[in-house]
Structure 1
């Protein structure tokens, strides 16, 4: 969307990118992770949340709750991490964080980069365990996430 700014007799035209709103319940999958060369999104999720994840079987998720388009299977939980305190277990499927769906690494990148996530000491998450959907809050407290 073009935006025109006029200031002190000068005109500047810029392109404004509009991101997917939180009400749509899923982030824009074209978002890219602004990372250092040494830290991947997988490393960041493990550092900040204490989770090792991989893509989950969508058909299993849809049999539990058809509103979820996918999720991330928990393959490991770091001891003494926010995820372990919930407690999230190996085999759980992370389907939501901060009101957004977690269908891909791009989704997690977007969520972790939001100002809401940076400011939230106890972000809400949603997991599927067995054939049930659960929600809880991670206790992250004060931290620097960028």
Structure 2
């Protein structure tokens, strides 16, 4: 596959995965009471798993970290835009002491998705480097 085509696929996939993860991250389980229960952000975890697998595919297909950076950077940018979007029609609940007190589950899930997208991108770059070094 020509590299420009692969980079275009990685960019488009990054946009798609950023939107998908932003939509998925709102799925949470709360074990215990609503205000004091243990939050399990399974939607954010699923979004991060899908992102990790796609990033590893990009790294091994392109045999370089550029594709991983394009896809992961695009997904993280979409997640950041959703996190910082002003107004009342937000998909993500940004952290504030008041939001954490009233909506702890959505705030935790939002932080897990937003920060996790950047962390998964860095992790996939390390894993891709290790895989590519083993193949040489």
TM-score range for the pair, normalised by the shorter chain length:
under 0.3
| Larger strand share, 1 or 2 | 1
- Higher RCO (C-alpha 8 Å, min separation 6): 2
Q: TM-score, normalised by structure 2?
A: 0.23
Whichever structure has more helix as a proportion of its residues is 2
For the pair shown, which has the larger CA radius of gyration, 1 or 2? 1
